[in-house]
Amino acid sequence: MSSIKVSQNSVSLPTVARLTSGDNYRLAGLERMLTPFLIVYLDRVDSNIAATIKLAGGDPQRLRPHVKTAKLFKVVRRYVESGIHHCKCATTLELAVACEAGMRDVVVAYPMVGANARRVQDLSTCYPDVTVSVLMDHPKQIQEWNPSIGIFIDVNPGMDRTGVGPEQVEEVLKLVHVIAGSGNLFRGLHYYDGHLGSLGFEERRSQALKGYDQLARLAGAVKYAGFDVGEVITSGSSVFLFASACSPLLSGEFTLRVSPGAAIYGDLTIQQQLPPELGYCPAALVATMVVSHPRSDLMTCDAGVKAVAVFAGLPNCAVLGRPELVPQRMSEEHLTLQAPAGAALPEIGEILYLIPRHAGLTVNNFSEALVVSSDGSAVLERVSARGRESPTALGN
């Protein structure tokens, strides 16, 4: 039996229902809710998962999404229920939630050393039916892992955070030999090119495909050296559609899996990076209340940077159904919105719905989310993978 328990308890809520007319994101009956709060719409989550599977050739087993954006146990379960059983994570808490939610194969896509590595192994022991793997880019890291842990070699696509350059074939082969000699299973190559998301669509496609050609050649060199490249993992949300149609990757003697994460919530970044005809829609919104009219053309809401993340820059959000309201300066608890001259401002006390630019970090700001089903019923769920485990988790 697992030693990790993820609470799914709901709490008593006021009656909440979708409005019968107008935008069906809007909810009625929220008067007793404290703002700002996070809302997750499960039907939109399901729609985004379906769009992602379609772009991956219709095969959910081609996907290894990063759960750092999903965060909620119930949302990770939607992946599993859609046939997606492989994922990536970055923290030990995300690993625990992914395993508890039913993922069968989880890659910790972050260098883990010391107590963090021991905690990964501890969790792997707690979930013996889950295949747990890690990344490696230096021979010293092999000492952290016993043979039960699979190892992917981390390939640096140009982000210069971690990894070995794809042109460093000899260094990669040395690492493969180290893994093979340790008794661990060499599982393949990991290549995350998220930095390409800042480029325009066509330039992003061109740069991504150049990288994938080089990655395919590297995989071929490893195969030629006598090693089985079981899996190649690549591509976040901004480029996974290019990898999913890349002939050199699809024709290689390995399984290709792509790893979109942000697509699950269809945030503003996804709306900007991916063509609208692909069908992604916002699935996580922040409800905020108008609290002040400091000027005739300016209003203030109670959703500052502690609610809506600013990591991806400004504007950090958009107002659902009110594109003329333009986010301005922010502080910890304040968001000001500029209205066109002469426009009627939303009244003080009115609830607005914000589409975050970066859903992952925004979801991480909240300890709970109002999770809404397609019939309008709602429960309050803990954001299970928010933050990190206790620093003493290894001793528990």
Q: What is the pLDDT of residue 375?
A: 81
| CATH fold for the domain made of 17-41+278-382 | Lyase, Ornithine Decarboxylase; Chain A, domain 1 (2.40.37)
- Residue 198, C-beta contacts closer than 8 angstroms, at least 6 positions apart: none
pLDDT tens sequence across 381-392: 999 999 999 999
Domains 17-41+278-382 and 64-259 share a fold: no
In angstroms, the Cα distances linking 103 to 69, 82, 144, 177, 313 are 16, 11, 23, 29, 33
Q: What is the pLDDT of residue 231?
A: 98
Q: What is the pLDDT of residue 329?
A: 81
More confident residue, 5 or 218: 218
Q: What six digits make up the tokens of 334?
A: 């304040």
More confident residue, 155 or 313: 155
Mean pLDDT on 306-313? 83
pLDDT tens sequence across 191-205: 999 899 989 999 999
- Residue 320, C-beta contacts closer than 8 angstroms, at least 6 positions apart: 23, 25, 26, 282, 285, 352, 353, 354, 355
Mean pLDDT on 322-343? 90
Q: Which of 300, 319, 317, 298 is nearest to 308 (CA)?
A: 317
Confidence of residue 9 (pLDDT cuts 50, 70, 90): very low
Phi-psi region of 155 (alpha: psi -120 to 50; beta: other; left: phi over 0): beta
pTM assigned to the model: 0.93
More confident residue, 71 or 330: 71
Q: What is the pLDDT of residue 15?
A: 64
Q: What is the pLDDT of residue 192?
A: 96
pLDDT tens sequence across 42-52: 999 999 999 99
Length of the chain: 396
Q: What is the pLDDT of residue 5?
A: 41
Q: What is the pLDDT of residue 19?
A: 64
Mean pLDDT on 56-64? 96
Residue 216 has pLDDT above 80, yes or no: yes
pLDDT tens sequence across 85-124: 999 999 999 999 999 999 999 999 999 999 999 999 999 9
pLDDT tens sequence across 233-250: 999 999 999 999 999 999
Q: What is the pLDDT of residue 21?
A: 45
Q: What is the pLDDT of residue 11?
A: 45
Mean pLDDT on 56-82? 96
| CATH fold for the domain made of 64-259 | TIM Barrel (3.20.20)
Q: What is the pLDDT of residue 23?
A: 62
Q: What is the pLDDT of residue 16?
A: 67
Q: Which of 246, 239, 257, 241 is nearest to 213 (CA)?
A: 246
Q: What is the pLDDT of residue 4?
A: 39
Residue 7 has pLDDT above 80, yes or no: no
Confidence of residue 25 (pLDDT cuts 50, 70, 90): confident
* Surface-to-core class of residue 58, CB atoms within 10 Å of its CB (0-12 exposed, 13-18 middle, 19+ buried): exposed
pLDDT > 70 fraction of the chain, expressed in percent and rounded: 94
Residue 60 and residue 37: Cα distance in Å, rounded?
32
- Residue boundaries of the structural domains of the chain: 17-41+278-382, 64-259
Q: What is the pLDDT of residue 312?
A: 66
Confidence of residue 377 (pLDDT cuts 50, 70, 90): confident
